[in-house]
Structure 1
Amino acid sequence: MNELFSGNTASLNTTVAFALALTLSLVLKFWLASRQIRHVAQHRSAVPAAFAEKITLTAHQKAAEYTITKTRFGLLELSWGAAIAIAWTLLGGLSVLNQWLVSVMGHGIGQQVALLVAFMAIGSALDLPFTLYQTFVIEERFGFNKTSLKLWLQDFAKSLLLSALIGLPFITLVIWMMGATGPWWWLWVWGVWMGFNLLALLIYPTWIAPLFNKFQPLEDPQVKERVSQLMARCGFTSKGFFVMDGSKRSAHANAYFTGFGASKRVVFYDTLLAQLSPPEVDAVLAHELGHFKHKHVIKRIVSMFAISLLGFFALGWLSQQLWFYTGLGVLPNLGAPNDALALLLFMMVLPLLGTFMGPLFAQLSRKHEFEADAYAVAQTSGPALAGALLKLFEDNASTLTPDPVYVQFYYSHPPATERLGRILGTAH
């Protein structure tokens, strides 16, 4: 009787803790979003003095409206996501789905894989209206969407096929390992997970990305010569310089240094090359090289290793606790594995922790961006980098006046004022 009472108490405590964490997360995110909307709206009538000569009032107001629209839409997505999380957990949705699949398929690895696939398929279907609205309404309204419904459907079909070809074997392997490798399964699965991620870094540039975009060798002789000299000066090598047809989907511009080891390659969006001068292209590339020079990529991979190890350890322990299931609205399988249920419940709980840890990771990311900027300035020039960033801020409709508290929680890149201030040596 005491054990039953203790179990019921633990289950109730889990329910209360989950509900409280979800509520606090929602309240915090709504408060931050309201601050961002209010702050941006209050400063939309005038371009900040530091940018008055470079950014027009029309562009500044467009950025404000774009930011406010996306933030408001984000609140709708947030509310919907919270409702879905409650439906899956406390209202018993996941338990019902699991029991139905057991009644159809019986217990076994096939049923567990089917549960994971069904959960992800249902989740994708529930999120689909938001994805479509974001692309074909919001992005379209502000002139950023360049994709057609046909192209979007083609991308969607390719993603599904890749998920089936890569994702299904992987999750099947994980479920099998959880049941076959004993009490230390979480360590073995962690090792496989890390290997999978490293393999993805190797194969993505040359095998996966070309399925969605065309990558043509950089042909502009002036730009090619400049970036070749920059790479040599910085002591970097790559598999080549490529131009990606990003303009067929979006007007947003970017450049990146992708891959790992021998598969590294430099990729420029065609929209970026159309907007920036050769010295500004140099500066943007130097910024990306700065991340490698400071070993930010390696540091993030190591951090991911450590954090995921803790996560898998926690999952290994929680998966053995009855209250973890019952407290989150799930009736576990009796006398049969619950590995898929444990994975799914953990996936729904983990983002709540991320909400409160987010500012730490965002601060670290902003620190890395400052370091990469400093490297770019040393290798090229401050005015060139500042000019490139100003164009990108304007072309991407990034607000110049974000709320400072919102920045601390969400911004992985420093806001324009701080970033350009440091680049040009005017920050205090």
Structure 2
Amino acid sequence: MYTTLFWIIIAIVVFDFAFEKVLDYLNFKNMSPTLPKALKGIYNEEKYAKSQEYEKVTSRFGLISSSFSFLLILIILFTGGFGLLDEWVRGITENIYFRTLLFFGVLGIVFDFLSLPFQLYSTFIIEELFGFNKTTAGTFVLDKLKGWGIGAVIGGGIISFILWAWLSTGNWFWLIVFGGLSAFMIFMTMFYSRLIVPLFNKQTPLEDGELKTAIETFAQKTGFQLDNIFVIDGSKRSTKANAYFSGLGPKKR
């Protein structure tokens, strides 16, 4: 017998999926290969048409992959999959921290493996079709392993912190978690490019020249204090990305 709380959870999951798909449909409906008048003379018409076609293909594929995830969640909920997993981890260890980490770890790995065919198709079929893909099989596997490692360290740390706060701080739980997670997000915003990016990409300082001068001039005009400009080897995975700003305060780059 399903409880009222169960049906509330189901309703939230269904509403979230339906609302997101409605927004996606509205965006998809308004896509057009015709270059807007405001962009004529600024953006290449052929490239714009290609970008719109790319968005349509990725939107259709996104509908398939998100529908799969949605149905998977419903199946797990209705079959009691989360409860079965909880019983299994309880039989392995009585330590609440290890039990919680094992629960979410297994859940994350299972979901990632089930979504692997979609990741492979997106990278090696769709991206390849539009000439964007530069990722090799070796890079894909290595990135996946690194992602799991980072997820285990950061995700495990966050889960452990939340669990500790819940068990130890009583009524202050919500405030301590809010403060801790806020501090962590600020820290990651400041140091992401120094701590995480080097695990996946090589960053080298941009040499003095016309490009560096133009970037610095633009940053000054917009009031964006910028002391560090780097070149990243992002093209070893894709030809899409070109430039981005990262950091906060004195750690902007």
TM-score if structure 1 supplies the norm length?
0.53
1 CA distance for matches of 2:160 and 2:192? 22
Counterpart in 2 of 1:18? 9
Deviations 1:295-320 (A, max 9, x none): xxxxxxxxxxxxxxxxxxxxxxxxxx
| 1:160 aligned to which of 148, 163, 166 | 148
Q: Does 1:129 align with 2:117?
A: yes
Which of residues 72, 75, 83 is equivalent to 1:84?
A: 72
Give the superposition deviation at 1:14. Answer: 2.7
Does the C-alpha gap of structure 1 residues 114 and 74 become closer, same or farther in structure 2, counting only changes over 3 Å? same
Distance 1:217-1:129 versus aligned 2 partners, 3 A rule:
same
Query: Deviations along 1:63-107, whole A, 9 cap, x unmatched?
Result: 232121111111112211211221332321111100111122235
> What's 1:259 paired with?
247
1:176 aligns with 2:164: yes
- Change in 2 beyond 3 A, CA 1:118/1:256: same
2:185 corresponds to which residue? 197
Q: 1:138 to 1:187 in 2, by over 3 A?
A: same
Q: Distance in 2 between matches of 1:180 and 1:256?
A: 41
Structure with larger Rg: 1
Q: Describe the shift of the 1:13–1:217 C-alpha distance in structure 2 as closer, same or farther (beyond 3 A).
A: same
- CA separation of 1:39 and 1:156: change in aligned 2, threshold 3 A: same
Contact 2:134 2:236 in 1 (8 A): yes
Q: What whole-Å deviation, never above 9, does each CA across 1:151-198 have from its counterpart, x for those lacking one?
A: 111212222222333332332232222112223222212221112112
Give the equivalent residue in structure 1 for 2:198.
210
Q: Given the superposition, is the C-alpha separation of residues 20 and 159 from structure 1 closer, same or farther in structure 2, using an over 3 Å criterion?
A: closer
Alignment of 1:17-416 (within 5 A): 17-40=8-31, 43-44=32-33, 46-51=34-39, 53=41, 58-106=46-94, 108-232=96-220, 236-265=224-253
Q: Is the 8 A contact 1:30 1:75 kept in 2?
A: yes
Cα distance between partner residues in 2 of 1:182 and 1:14:
24
CA distance, structure 1, for counterparts of residue 219 and residue 48 of structure 2: 35
Secondary structure of residue in 2 paired with 1:177: helix
CA distance in 1 between counterparts of 2:44 and 2:225 reads 39
Q: Which runs of 5+ in 2 are unaligned?
A: none
Amino acid at match of 1:170: I
The 2-side partners of 1:54 and 1:228 are apart by 23
Aligned with 1:216: secondary structure?
Answer: strand
Which secondary structure does the structure 1 equivalent of 2:79 belong to? coil
| Aligned-partner SS, 1:243 | strand
Partner SS, residue 245 of structure 2: strand
Flag the structure with more relative contact order, 1 or 2, with Cα contacts below 8 A and sequence separation at least 6.
1
The DSSP-based 3-state class of the residue aligned with 1:258 is: coil
CA contact (8 A) 1:113 1:175 kept: no
Question: Partners of 1:12 and 1:209 in 2: how far apart?
Answer: 45
Letter aligned with residue 216 of structure 2: S
- How many Å separate the matches in 2 of 1:209 and 1:107? 34
Per-residue deviation, 1:58? 4.0
Normalising by structure 2, we get a TM-score of 0.86
**Contact residue 206 and residue 230 of structure 2 kept, 8 A:** yes
Structure 2 distance, partners of 1:55, 1:262, is: 34
Q: Percent identity?
A: 31
Gaps of 5+ in 1: 1-7, 266-428
CA apart distance, 1:35: 4.2
What is the aligned residue count?
253
CA contact (8 A) 1:146 1:249 kept: yes
Amino acid at match of 1:257: F
Distance 1:124 1:238 in 2: 37
> Matched residues in 1 for 2:121 and 2:100: separation?
33
Alignment CA distance shift 1:138-1:102 (3 Å): same
